[in-house]
Amino acid sequence: MSLTLYGIPNCDTVKKARTWLADNGIDFTFHDFKKQPLAHDTVAAWLTDAHWDVLVNRKGTTWRKLDEAARAAVVDADSALALMLAQPSVIKRPVLAGAGPLQVGFSAERYGALFAPGA
């Protein structure tokens, strides 16, 4: 199984996820989407596994800095995809791909269940 954790390194929640994975001996690749742009196909695939409203972080600074028209324009998966590609910081972090269903955000309990023996 090839795991990729997507996020930005200075995000506290991403730091917690990276630490949890490392402390539990789980190999993963970290994709810093500030330095490595996200591919259209990658984000489109996420949207088949998670609802766009889960992936768009409406509580974050990037969302709040968007003008009202830009926020109002995000009404479906296609508009969310365009926004996430243009402004990756609007994506709720971290995103963990390759461990079954897409994981958005971090919870030690959820990761523990995901990686439990026999899971």
Active-site residue numbers? 11
Of 17, 16, 86, 94, the residue nearest 55 (C-alpha): 94
Whether 80 contacts 56, CB under 8 Å: yes
70, 105, 61, 46 alpha-carbon torsion, rounded to 10°? -30
